[in-house]
Amino acid sequence: MLKEFKAFILKGNVIDLSTGVIIGAAFTGIVTAFTKGIVEPILALPGGGSSPKLTIPIKETMVEVAKLGADGKPVMENGKAVMEMVPKIIELDLGLIIGAVISFLITAAVVFFVIVKPINKLMALTKKKEAEAPPPAPAADIVLLTEIRDLLKK
């Protein structure tokens, strides 16, 4: 049973599945913290902001929003909020994409060097031991039949 369990655990699909689960769950907090604490400030250096502002404006449009008073609450008239038109720029956020790619690469590197590489080494050592092991001695009846065959050939 232990040999079967070992063979099951060392199968490639089990390792791949566990690696995927780890990428998706266990490193999420670490990668998020690393990205927000280190990567985003580095990306923000050229823009001078606290978050990466690597955006490409696509189109400027007007949108209708509720007018706010001095207290920050919507201005009401006849029980309804007073609406006003304000310009809005639609843009591509490259900083967000670059941050996600860097997060993925960091996660993949950690998983590769901490899980995949050691497992591959372990599997190579296991295969090497199996290759070095001498073949099992033939059964007594096989030895006898081989001797009979050899005598009959002579």
Domain spanning 2-54+93-153, CATH class: mainly alpha
For residue 86, the surrounding DSSP H or E stretch is strand 83-93
Q: Where are the domains of the chain?
A: 2-54+93-153
d(Cα 126, Cα 32) in Å, to the nearest integer? 36
pTM as predicted = 0.46
Average pLDDT of every residue of the chain: 80
Per-residue model confidence as pLDDT tens digits over 12-68: 677 777 778 877 777 777 777 777 777 767 766 765 554 456 788 888 888 888 888
d(Cα 22, Cα 102) in Å, to the nearest integer? 17
